[in-house]
Chains A and B, each alone.
Chain A
Amino acid sequence: MRTEIRFAGSGGQGLITAGVILAEAVGLHDGKYVVQTQSYGPEARGGASKAEVVIDDRPIRYPKAQRLDVLLAMTQEGCDRYYHDLKPEGVLILDADLVPTAPTSAALAVPITRMVREALGRELFANIAALGVLAGATGIVGMEALTAAVLARVPKGTEQKNRDALNLGFEAGRSAAASPADEPEHDEV
């Protein structure tokens, strides 16, 4: 079965790196077919940027994502531009602070960047936390494979912080998926 994931944000947020790590996790550690592509503007930083990962049990021909199973948006623009590519049953994950206006109440809004800044002192690890949120909320990739892929990619000396960011994201993703914030609480009626 073909699964399509898109990370949307702006240059410098590390989303292409996140796409590469996800692809390595599912391809090299989980043994699936995988293709990772990206698109970005001519700017070194700040322009709209997206990374895509297509996962399948059989060889992948068309390498780009068209009908998304997961959209993870780290900017309002990225959310607005690509929300319509999401399948009806697709999962929308947002950075709650960077995407203030969610297009649907079904969105999983997690304050990814703020959470990382408060826990680890720097926003630098937000892309790794975003991967954790993805894993926690969707189960598309296993944490064992993802952890191995993260540790294989990140610079020496940053392993622990990246591991912490990943776990922080995973827990946040799992609880967001378990109880979407906007779900009506019928029990209380």
Chain B
Amino acid sequence: MSAEGSREALLQGNEAVVEGAVAVGCSFYAGYPITPSTEVAEGLAARLPATGGTFLQMEDEIASIAACLGASLAGAKAMTATSGPGFSLMQELVGYAAIAEIPFVLVNVMRYGPSTGLPTSPSQGDVMQARWGTHGDHPIIVLTASSVREAFDMTVKSFNLAEKYRSPVILLLDEVVGHMREKVKLPAPEAVERLERIHPSTPPEWYAPYEETNTGVPPMAAFGDGYRFHVTGLVHDRMGFPTQKKSEIVQGTNRLYRKIERGFREICMTDGVGLEDARTVVVAYGSVARSAQQAVEEMRDQGKPVGLLRLRTLWPFPRAAFERILDGVDDILVCELNRGQVYREVLRVSRGRCEVHKHTRTDGEMITPAEIVRALRERI
């Protein structure tokens, strides 16, 4: 059933991911089903072939991400979806995509881990794995969502950022958002922004797939377009061939970081409630931000100077949003479904300018608004 156009529909977060992917022009999906992400595969299995795209169910997660990288190199907007155990298996090729600068979108609907864990219970335990799951220094873009509509919007964003920055993008949902159904009105297809990767304007014989550019993002040819180029996980020169020259090693790695750093303002997305006058700020993301918003709204109705800073981007860590509030607040309370992964980042960026506390939950259940209100009452 299509939810495109302006008709209202009751959709799951995972179904909204499907709609977002189709709307932004995703034409390739390869994956291996796993709870709680399976509805993404089910939806695209129905939608992609109908729109001329390709859906592949692979033999495992490693093959799935490999197929996505191949499809992207051939010019397709590619995506896979998984959950914790599959995300672990995919890590090696996330690094390959980072160093070979292959755009693609990986949706990880987080479940309780480690290992098989609690397949049907929510968690936000993969925040650090999304950042550092693959080895070596590398930048990565990681987005998240708190509602069904936002799952649609952030899927669109994920593809657009992947294509614009030639980078893997991870959309980190949690089981609650993935499985929750809400009434949504999705935008008409023509109202959805679709960014395309920059194709080389040089003739094939002049093409350097990893050349320096102003933005740090080299144009990307598609295999089959007549441009021959080499792709490798080895550190490479501007032509894509392995190098051990110090100057080329440093230049290549620095460019990977520079291209993302130049985009911080666009990539690092946050929003908030009451940040203009809050003395105590709750930091939350994903499904927990819903509980946090209810708690903050309840307390503001009672005249308490509390606020919410909601992280829509987790990596690069949205430090600028913290810099804007740090000097005006007494306390920050980080709420998350893990033992304090974003909490550690907030400690790092706050550098002692305010108190930082955490309220976490790791029993497979969501944090409730009442818990957050209680935690806030201890502070003010």
Contact = CB atoms under 8 A, between A and B. Distances in A.
20 contacts: A20-B181, A23-B10, A27-B8, A27-B10, A28-B10, A34-B10, A34-B183, A36-B10, A36-B180, A37-B180, A39-B120, A42-B119, A60-B182, A61-B293, A61-B297, A61-B369, A62-B291, A62-B294, A63-B180, A66-B368
A66 B366 CA distance: 11
B179 interface: yes
A146 B363 CA distance: 36
A61 B120 contact: no
A180 interface: no
Contacts of A39: 120-121
A15 to B, nearest CB: 14
Given A36-B182, A64-B368, 6 more contacts: A23-B183, A28-B9, A36-B180, A42-B120, A62-B369, A66-B370
Contact of B10 (A24, A60, A66): A24
* Tier of interface size on chain A: 20 to 34
Interface of A: 20, 23-24, 27-28, 33-42, 60-64, 66
Contacts of B179: 37-38
A61 B182 CA distance: 11
A122 B149 CA distance: 38
B144 to A, nearest CB: 16
A34 B121 CA distance: 21
* Tier of interface size on chain B: 20 to 34
B287 interface: yes
A39 B370 CA distance: 21
Contacts of B297: 61
B290 interface: yes
B176 interface: yes
Contact of B120 (A20, A40, A62, A63): A40
A34 B182 contact: yes
A23 B291 contact: no
> Which 6 A-B residue pairs are closest in the complex by CB-CB distance?
A61-B294, A27-B183, A36-B181, A61-B290, A42-B119, A24-B10
Nearest to B294: A61
A32 to B, nearest CB: 8
Contact of B181 (A23, A62, A64, A66): A23
A60 B290 CA distance: 8
Nearest to B184: A27
Contacts of A41: 120
A37 B176 contact: yes
Contacts of B291: 61-62
Interface string B42-58: 00000000000000000
A89 B167 CA distance: 55
Contacts of B290: 61-63
Contacts of B293: 61
Contact of B366 (A24, A27, A64): A64
Contacts of A60: 182
Contacts of A40: 120
B4 to A, nearest CB: 16
Interface string B107-135: 00000000000111100000000000000
Contacts of A66: 368, 370
A167 to B, nearest CB: 23
Residue in A33, A40, A62, A63 whose Cβ sees the most chain B Cβ within 10 Å? A62
Contacts of B121: 39
A20 B368 contact: no
Contacts of B10: 20, 23-24, 27-28, 34, 36
A73 B206 CA distance: 70
A104 to B, nearest CB: 25
Given A20-B10, A27-B10, A28-B9, A33 B120 contact: no
A33 B181 CA distance: 11
Contacts of A37: 176, 179-181
A39 B119 CA distance: 11
Interface string B348-380: 000000000000000000101110000000000
A98 B179 CA distance: 28
Contact of A28 (B8, B180, B294): B8
A28 B183 contact: yes
Contacts of B176: 37, 63
B355 to A, nearest CB: 26
A156 to B, nearest CB: 14
B181 A35 contact: yes
